[in-house]
Structure 1
Amino acid sequence: MAQQERTTLDMKGISIEFPGVKALSDVDFQVESGRIHALIGANGAGKSTLMKVLSGAYSHYTGSIHLNGNQVTIRTPRDAKELGIDIVYQEVDTALIPYLDVAENIMLDVMVNRMKGKVFINWKHIHDSARKVLERLGIQLDTRKRVQDLTLAQKQMVLIARAIAEERRFLILDEPTAPLSHKETDELFRVVRELANHQNVGIIFISHRLPELFEICEEITIMRDGQVVTRNPIAELTTKQVVEWMLGRKMDETYVKKQTAIGEPLLTVSHLYDRKGMVRNVSLHVRAGEIVGIAGLVGAGKTELCKTIFGAHAAQSGEIKLKEKKLQNKTPHAAVKQGLALVPEERRKEGVLVDESVVSNLSAASLGAFSSAFGFVKPREERAAALKMIGDLGIKTPHENQKVALLSGGNQQKVAVGKWLLADADVYMFDEPTKGVDVGAKRDIFNLIAKLAEIGKGSIYATSELSEILAITDRIYVMYDGAVVKELLTSETTEEEILYYSTGGN
C-alpha cells in the first residue's frame, strides 16, 4: 500500500478523570493505517481507557483527536464508527448475541443503521454480504450457524468481521489472543496481517503476551500510570526493556520457585468423569505444600476438570477425597464448606461481583471469618483484611469501596484471586489466573500461591501457558481431549515435552 494513501491518527493531550482517580494525564498517541501498533502497559496504566476514548465509550475527556491533521469529534461509539474506528473488546461473549446466527451478528450494525423504517429485511442480501466479509478475511464459517454454537476463536472472528463490515480505517484489538490456542492465534495473526497489509487498516494491538507483540507488531507505545512513557519501533527493544518500561524498574526475567516441604496427600481424584463428556477417567492427587500443574491446549478439558472437582459441573462417576474423606461436591457451596476454592477463568462472569465494592468481593468467600456469633458482619475487620490483600496483590483502586466494574481487567482478576486467598481452604484451584494481567501482577500472584504452599496448602494451577507452569509447579498432569495423558516432574521436563503430550503425542 502506497505511503501517501495512509491515514494518520493523532490523539493529543488526552486526559480523563473518574471519581478518586486521574486515569489519563496529557496523553499523546499516534498510529498510521496499514500498520500494526502495540499498545501495552501494566494493569491500570490507562491503555484500555485511552482506547475507550478513541472508540467513543468515554465522552468526558479533554484533549483532541485528529485524522490526517484535521480535528474530529468522537464522543459516542457512533462518532468513532462513522470515522472508520472500531474496537473488539476482550470479553467476546458479552459483545455478541448468542441466539442470532453468524450473518446477523456480522451485519448487526449495518441492519441497525441502514434499515430503519423498513418493514422487510432481505435475508439473502444479509447472508451474501456476511459471506463476502468473511471471504475478505479468508475465514470459512457457515453464516447460518448460531453464535452460541461457535468456539471462542470463531466468535472472535465474527466480531472482527462485524467491525470491518463497514469501511474501517482503524481497528482496536483488546487482548484478542487471551482465550485462543496456539493454532487459533496463528489464524488470528493471519487475519490481522491481511487487514493491515492488504486492506490498509491500522491495527492497535493490546496484549500482555509480549512474545506475540514482537511477532506481529511494527511499533510499540508503552504506558505507565496514565501516561505514555515511550514509543519505538518494536525491533529496537528487547522483552526485558519492555518489561522495565512498563514497571518503571529493573526486574529479573525469570521467576525462581522456592522449595517447600511436601506432605501427605490432601486431594485425591480417582477415575472422574463429568456428565458432559469433557472429563474422562481423570485420576490425580495433590499433596500438602505442593503446586500441581494441569497443562493442555485450549479445549483440553482443564477448566471442565476444575469445575467438576468444585461441583460447578456435574460428575458422572468417580471419587473425590479431601484429607481421606470422600466429598459430595454437588454444588460449589458444598465444596467451599469442605475446604476447596476455585479461581475461575472467566472473571467477569464467574469470578467477581462487578457491581459490588472491592472490599465486598474480597470478603465474599470468607464472610464467616468477619461475622459475629449472631451473623452480623464486622466491617472494621472486613476492611482491614481487604486492605491487606489490596496491598499484597497490588490491586490498583482509588479506595477499597470502588465498584469492581470500574477497575481494569487485570485488577478485576487480582480481586478474583484475592477473594479466595482470604478464604481458609485446604486446596486452591487456579484456572488461568494470570489471564489478562501484566508481568508485575503475574509475579505477585506467583508469590502468593508460593506462600500458600509454604503454610501447607495444596494448589492446582491450570493453564495453557507452558512457561508459567514450568516456573511455579512441582508436578504436572498433561491433558488432551478430556483425559490425563501424562504425569511429569516439573524439574525434569521441558516446554517441548509438555507440548508434545498436549497435542496428542504418546
Structure 2
Amino acid sequence: MGTRVDMKGISIEFPGVKALSDVDFSVRTGTAHALVGANGAGKSTLMKVLSGAHVHYSGDIYLDGIKRQIRSPKEAQGHGIQIVYQEVDTSLIPYLTVGENVMLNEMVQNMGQKQLVKWKNLHNAAAQILQDMNIHVSSKQLVKDLTLAQKQMVLIARAVSTECKFLILDEPTAPLSHRETTELFRIVNELKQKDVGIIFISHRLPEIFEICEDITIMRNGEHVTCRKTGDINQKDVVELMLGKTMDEQFPEVNAAIGDIVLEVKGLSDAGKIKDVNLHLKAGEIIGLAGLVGAGKTELCKVLFGHTSIRVGEVILNGRRLSLKTPHDAVKNGLALVPEERRKEGVLVQESVTSNLTAASLGEFSSTLSFLNRKAEKEKATEMIASLGIKTPSGEARVEHLSGGNQQKVAIGKWLIADADVYIFDEPTKGVDVGAKKDIFHLIAKLARNGKAIIYASSELSEIIGITNRTYVLYDGSTVIELKTNKTNEEELLYYSTGGE
C-alpha cells in the first residue's frame, strides 16, 4: 500500500481570518490526489502546513499511523515531503545557475561542513536530473534568463532531486503550454510508478480528471468531501466548490463599439516581438491568442512601456505615443494587469487600500502633496465592496489574500485610475471558476462603459467566450485576425501552432 499521510483536525488562523477549520486530508504514495476549491478555500494553506511553512496550526499529522511533528520545511523534507509553489520566482534564486537551483537543497544541507563545492559534479548531477525529466535547459544557464515555464520545470526538478515520498504541486500547469503540460503529466505518471504520492492543486478540472485518482474538495477553509475521480463529474465538483449551482460563465457584453482608440503598426522590440499590427475600438474586447511563449506577455509589456520599441508605432486616439516607461503609458491612459501578479501586479507586503490607490495617488493628494487618508480609505472601501474582494479589512496585507482576490486588487487599482485602454495578460491564471466569472463580468462592464480592452490568454475557451475579435500570435508576430463569433478553438489552435 506504500506510505500514507493523514492530516486530522487541522485549524489555523491569521489576523482577522480563520483560514482552516478542523480539516481532514489523506493521501497515499503511488497515486495523484487532487485538492480543489475556490480561491480562499484553504488549499494552499493546508499544504503549507503539511510542508512546514505554517507552524502555528492545531491538529495532528500522521505518517503510516505514527504521529509526526512538522514545524519547519526541513522537518517536512526529512519526511520526504516537497512542495513546488505556484509563484515560481519566490522559490528560485535568479542570479544562480539552473544547476545550482536544482541542487540547492543538497548545497544547503552541506553548508557548514567545510568542504569545497565540486562544481563539475554538481552540474553533471543536475544535467542528469534534467535529462531524465526531458527538460531541455542547460544546467549552466542563469535562472533569470529562463521563461516562466522553464522555471516551473526547474523547481520540479529540484523537488525530485532529493528523497521525495510526497510531491505537492500548487497550480503547476498555470504557466505551461500544452506540450509542456503533457511532459509534466509524463513526469507525474513516472513518479507515481516510483511510489511517489502527488498532491495536485489546480483550477483546471479536465487536467484533474486526466491525472488524478482521488479528489478532495474544500470550501471556506473546511473539508467538503473526498471522492474517487471516477465517481464524480466536473459539474458536481464546481457546485461543491462554490456551494451553489454554476450559471453561464461568460456574460453578454452588449457594448456599443465606437471609433478606433489604439493602433499598432509594424511594432517590433529588441527581442521576441516582430512586426505586430492590430487596432482596437472603444467598447471592444480583442483577444491576443497563442500558446505559452508566443509573445503575448512580451507584446503587453511593450505596449505598457515596460520594454523598448525598436521599430513601429503605437497610436492612441490619433496621436503617436512615445512609450519609454510604464509611467508614460499610465499618463496616456494605458493600464496593464500583468500575468505575474505577485511579482508585478501587486505590492504583497502592503495593505489592500495602499494597493488599490497606488496608481492614482494624485487624486488623494492636496496641493501641498499631503495624502488625504480619509478619502483614500473611503475609495478603497467602495472598491472592495464593488469588486467583492474577500478581506477582513482594507488594512489587511495583500499577501494574506487568495490568488483570486489578489487579482481583483490588481484590477481594482486601474479601475480607480480610470484608464482608456485596459490590457489583461492571463488574468484568470490560478483563479477559480467563481472568481473567473467575476473577472469576466468586470471586463464586460468596462467595455460597456466604452473602455477598450486587450485580453491576452492561452486559454482559448476564454478568448472565444469574452472577445469580439482575435489576433493570433505565433513566434512573436500577429499571423491572422479573426472575428471571434466566426471562429472556434480548433481554428485558433491551428494558427497558434504555426498553421497557415
Q: TM-score, normalised by structure 1?
A: 0.95
Query: Which residue number corresponds to residue 88 of structure 1?
Result: 84
Alpha-carbon separation, structure 2, partners of 1:428 and 1:87: 35
Select the residue among 260, 265, 269 that pairs with 1:274. Answer: 269
Specify the SS of the correspondent of 1:498.
Answer: helix
Q: Pairwise mapping of residues 168-247 of structure 1 onto structure 2 (< 5 A)?
A: 168-196=164-192, 198-247=193-242
Select the residue among 56, 66, 90 that pairs with 1:70. Answer: 66
Q: 2:353–2:395: 8 Å Cα contact kept in structure 1?
A: yes
1:370: Cα distance to partner? 2.8
1:31 counterpart = 2:27? yes
Q: Pairwise mapping of residues 22-421 of structure 1 onto structure 2 (< 5 A)?
A: 22-114=18-110, 116-196=112-192, 198-276=193-271, 278-421=272-415
1:17: Cα distance to partner? 0.6
Query: Which residue number corresponds to residue 422 of structure 1?
Result: 416
Q: 2:253–2:447: 8 Å Cα contact kept in structure 1?
A: no
Specify the SS of the correspondent of 2:359.
Answer: coil
Alpha-carbon separation, structure 2, partners of 1:266 and 1:140: 42
Select the residue among 481, 486, 490 that pairs with 2:480. Answer: 486
The one-letter amino acid paired with 2:224 is V
Post-superposition, which runs of at least 4 consecutive aligned residues in structure 1 deviate over 4 A? 138-141
The one-letter amino acid paired with 1:191 is I
Query: Which residue number corresponds to residue 6 of structure 2?
Result: 10
Query: Which residue number corresponds to residue 460 of structure 1?
Result: 454
Alpha-carbon separation, structure 1, partners of 2:393 and 2:176: 34
Q: 2:83–2:168: 8 Å Cα contact kept in structure 1?
A: yes
Alpha-carbon separation, structure 2, partners of 1:470 and 1:137: 34
Indicate how the Cα distance of structure 1 residues 372 and 504 shifts in structure 2: closer, same or farther if over 3 A, else same: same
Indicate how the Cα distance of structure 1 residues 153 and 332 shifts in structure 2: closer, same or farther if over 3 A, else same: closer
Q: 1:410–1:438: 8 Å Cα contact kept in structure 2?
A: yes
Alpha-carbon separation, structure 1, partners of 2:137 and 2:340: 25
Indicate how the Cα distance of structure 1 residues 345 and 141 shifts in structure 2: closer, same or farther if over 3 A, else same: closer
Q: 2:4–2:27: 8 Å Cα contact kept in structure 1?
A: yes
Specify the SS of the correspondent of 1:268.
Answer: strand
The one-letter amino acid paired with 2:69 is T
The percent of aligned pairs where both chains have the same amino acid is 63
The one-letter amino acid paired with 2:239 is E
Alpha-carbon separation, structure 2, partners of 1:118 and 1:138: 34
Q: Residues 14-65 of structure 1, C-alpha deviation per residue, up to 9 Å, x if partnerless?
A: 0011111111000000111110001111111111110000000011100000
Alpha-carbon separation, structure 2, partners of 1:155 and 1:341: 27
Q: 1:10–1:30: 8 Å Cα contact kept in structure 2?
A: yes
Alpha-carbon separation, structure 1, partners of 2:115 and 2:80: 28
The one-letter amino acid paired with 1:130 is A
The one-letter amino acid paired with 1:52 is K
Specify the SS of the correspondent of 1:468.
Answer: helix
Specify the SS of the correspondent of 2:25.
Answer: strand
Indicate how the Cα distance of structure 1 residues 115 and 312 shifts in structure 2: closer, same or farther if over 3 A, else same: closer
Specify the SS of the correspondent of 1:365.
Answer: helix
Q: 1:392–1:444: 8 Å Cα contact kept in structure 2?
A: no
Alpha-carbon separation, structure 1, partners of 2:232 and 2:380: 38
The one-letter amino acid paired with 1:218 is E
1:347: Cα distance to partner? 0.9
Q: TM-score, normalised by structure 2?
A: 0.97
State which drifts further: 335-344 or 151-160.
Answer: 151-160
Query: Which residue number corresponds to residue 439 of structure 2?
Result: 445
Indicate how the Cα distance of structure 1 residues 147 and 375 shifts in structure 2: closer, same or farther if over 3 A, else same: closer
Specify the SS of the correspondent of 2:482.
Answer: strand
Alpha-carbon separation, structure 2, partners of 1:286 and 1:302: 16
1:139: Cα distance to partner? 4.2
